[in-house]
Structure 1
Amino acid sequence: MKKNVSVSKLDKSMHHGKLDSNQLIWHDPKRHPFQVNGFAWFDTEKTYRRIPVQPAWDIPEAVDVLANHTSGGQIRFQTDSKLLAVKVRLTAKADMNHMPATGQCGFDCYIGKTGEKHYINTTKYDHNQLEYVLTLFEREENSLIPITLNFPLYQGVEEVLIGLSENAKITPPPPYEDNKKIILYGTSILQGGCASRPGMSYTNILSRRINLEFINLGFSGNGKGEPNLARLISTIEDPACLVLDYEPNCVSTALYKETLPAFIQIYREAHPDVPIIVVSKFPYAKEKVNPQLKVERLERLEFQKKLVLQLQSQGDNKITFVDGTDLLGPYTNEGTVDGSHPNDLGFMYMAQRLEKVLRDVLGEKFSERASN
């Protein structure tokens, strides 16, 4: 009896992908008419990195490393190509034991405009490799379609090239509603741990529903609210709003009580009228066996409520608090991979809850009625 047979040999759909055609022209997405979005400093630095190569302020070494992870980055364009492929060189191999390599290191592809985007495919490759060349789709038609490629969530990308049919037409993507950006700062959950593929992180889900650029500044284990991160984030131009979702990395309630008011104050000095949304954490599974975790979470929950109410009473009518207790919806017990990091189901519910909050904060132009 044979016992050790690879599933990919038994089921072709489980096999890693391959390049099906050599009739391709390779394009650098850093060049017009492609648009690279989701990296706040890309226009000046042209790197797939989430903070500047040389920040104006000292930042933690771990944040500097994690900034190379390309979570939230997107390549957008329109084409009539009958074939789409990618050629990718990563900075390191897949190495996570609770997150699929397709989410950590892969790209995925959507077609269509915001509000109508349809998932097509994800790069599946030999995870022992640093480089891969894969076809994302082939089609019969040659109509002009909008393309969105989502970057890997938990790995760096040294190079990515876009393969299109010979003589394919390439045009800029459909425009955003305006040039403002939704900026989010937080933890591994925000970075995308542990989505099965890039498009399932909650910021990427939201980007398919709200027609603005999203800047993902989630730093795994290291979104701790340091003042210099507040100063750095304050330099991002044209903010539509700032979402602070870093409570899970706050280290202690005492430290959180220091960093959150300071972070808000630093940002307010630069942006007195930009909406700020403070999001509290959802309950982790271990609260059931360690009640002290619940006590600590409820302490921070109460603190955040009182802080936001205090700031509102002092005249800040642009700050909002979101109680994260039910962020995972009715499936809190099944919405994570490991009791803390959401799976795709959890991320869908997070996006659903936060979409309404964002639309309310962004105003009439982004209301549900306007979007419909």
Structure 2
Amino acid sequence: MAEQTTQSNRVDAQKLDPNMKLEQTGELGLTWLSPKEQPFRLSGFPWFHQDGVYRRLPLSPGHEIPPAVNQLANSTAGGQIGFRTNSPRLAIRVELAGKAGMYHMPATGQCGFDIYLGEPGDQQYFGTTRYDHTQLSYEVVLYEFPHAEERHVTLNFPLYQGVKEVIIGIEPGSRLEAPLPYRSNKKVIVYGTSITQGGCATRPGMAYTNILSRRIPLEFVNLGFSGNGRGEPEVARVLTEIANPAMLVLDYEANAVDLELMRRTLPEFIRIYREAHPNVPILVVSKIQYAKERFDPVLLKKRLDMKRMEMETVDMYRRQGDANIHFFDGTALLGTDSYNECTVDGVHPTDLGFLRMADTLTPMFKELLKGELESA
């Protein structure tokens, strides 16, 4: 009787709600194309032309980087595929490097793709891959319209898993063209933490760097390394190799275990990058507020001490004549009154939190990138 009661109380929403059913594709009869080939545009993988893999750092860095950072570089956060097509159907096949396995972040954010339709400046969310998260591969129809019509497509890569292979399916005989170009060939490089990487967005397009990329028509490179972006000088040297930087954002305070580590790494990171790129804007962003700071004065003091140190570092460089280094106070990134309602666990933002972060950062980014946006 107890077993029967348990079975009768079990809820399987995927069977009860048609909007939650998994994709059943079967034989689609599409033409399958690799985004590694033209006219597709791959963004967010600075070393793709060299290594040919979906990875955020080089396969063989010229400097020895921490093993955890090297592993996390295989997460495809910030990667994008752009193209135009008049195909009335669009599908995607994905082979993942691993399965979803986090307790506080949906599989759609960890391992899924999402799709935006529209030209830069008017990219609108359309859908997310619906797949069996227990599997290492999936095939999903992204859209199916009754008529052929040219559409500008942006696909966002998974945030917390690696992608071994991805191919795009279109209707046979349909056109495929390059996307509209970026405003310039410069890249916005954002280095930081799990929050930078996109934890814990429900889908890739809601990572704050991806939101910003829809507002600022430049390529964004997401170099958030969950729990392991700690300002190592070796990583700074690797970052100097990224060609055509428009701006470098340093958002790694949350990974610095103590004030001494931040004091040791931040000035050196800036010095290394500045030697290679003397005029590129550098923006130092301090950490968001954590929910527990309301109740833990030690935690609050640590954040305030860190912020003060970051401000002092930026002021030091500016006094030495570096007018292209700036500081952004991250205290209000999630808002001032209800910031503790914008996270999954008191630390990692929800989609609402990421949207608030992007809203708060957008004016600063546009101001520092004004030269790139106006010169086109």
TM-score interval for Structure 1 and Structure 2 normalised by the shorter chain: over 0.9
Q: Is the 8 A contact 1:83 1:137 kept in 2?
A: yes
Q: Is the 8 A contact 1:85 1:134 kept in 2?
A: yes
Match of residue 348, structure 1, among 348, 355, 358: 355
Distance 1:137 1:20 in 2: 15
> For residue 347 of structure 1, what is the amino acid of its counterpart?
F
Paired residue for 1:231?
237
Paired residue for 1:38?
44
Distance 1:140 1:187 in 2: 43
Which of 148-157 and 287-296 deviates more?
A: 287-296
Task: Specify whether residues 180 and 280 from structure 1 end up closer, same or farther in structure 2 by C-alpha distance, changes over 3 A only.
Answer: same
1:361 aligns with 2:348: no
Paired residue for 2:53?
47
Task: Please give the per-residue CA displacement for 1:101-153, whole angstroms capped at 9, x wherever unaligned.
Answer: 00000000001111100111101111110010010110123121110000000
> For residue 140 of structure 1, what is the amino acid of its counterpart?
P
Q: Which runs of 5+ in 2 are unaligned?
A: none
Q: How does 1:143-154 map to 2 (within 5 A)?
A: 143-154=149-160
Paired residue for 1:339?
346
Distance 2:41 2:146 in 1: 25
Q: Secondary structure at the match of 1:36?
A: strand
Q: Is the 8 A contact 1:225 1:260 kept in 2?
A: yes
Q: How does 1:323-334 map to 2 (within 5 A)?
A: 323-330=329-336, 331-334=338-341
> For residue 362 of structure 2, what is the amino acid of its counterpart?
E
Distance 2:38 2:373 in 1: 28
Match of residue 200, structure 1, among 194, 197, 206: 206
Q: Secondary structure at the match of 2:15?
A: helix
Q: TM-score, normalised by structure 2?
A: 0.96
- Indicate the percent of aligned positions where both proteins have the same amino acid: 53
1:124 aligns with 2:144: no
Q: Secondary structure at the match of 2:365?
A: helix
Q: TM-score, normalised by structure 1?
A: 0.97
Cα deviation for residue 309 of structure 1 reads 1.4
1:137 aligns with 2:147: no
1:276 aligns with 2:278: no
Distance 2:192 2:371 in 1: 27
Which of 193-202 and 281-290 deviates more?
A: 281-290
Cα deviation for residue 294 of structure 1 reads 0.3
Cα deviation for residue 20 of structure 1 reads 6.5
1:156 aligns with 2:162: yes
> For residue 352 of structure 2, what is the amino acid of its counterpart?
L
List structure 1 segments (4+ residues) > 3 angstroms apart after TM superposition: 364-367
Q: Which runs of 5+ in 1 are unaligned?
A: none
Q: Is the 8 A contact 2:96 2:137 kept in 1?
A: yes
> For residue 171 of structure 2, what is the amino acid of its counterpart?
S
Q: Is the 8 A contact 2:184 2:372 kept in 1?
A: no
Q: Is the 8 A contact 1:20 1:135 kept in 2?
A: no
Task: Please give the per-residue CA displacement for 1:285-339, whole angstroms capped at 9, x wherever unaligned.
Answer: 1112321000011011111112111211110000010000000124312111100
Q: Is the 8 A contact 1:19 1:85 kept in 2?
A: no
Number of aligned residues: 369
Distance 1:4 1:265 in 2: 58
Give me the CA root mean square deviation: 1.4
> For residue 147 of structure 1, what is the amino acid of its counterpart?
V
Cα deviation for residue 44 of structure 1 reads 1.8
> For residue 67 of structure 1, what is the amino acid of its counterpart?
A
Cα deviation for residue 18 of structure 1 reads 2.6
Paired residue for 2:323?
317
> For residue 333 of structure 1, what is the amino acid of its counterpart?
N
Cα deviation for residue 23 of structure 1 reads 2.4
Task: Please give the per-residue CA displacement for 1:175-205, whole angstroms capped at 9, x wherever unaligned.
Answer: 0001000001000000000000000000000
Paired residue for 2:75?
69
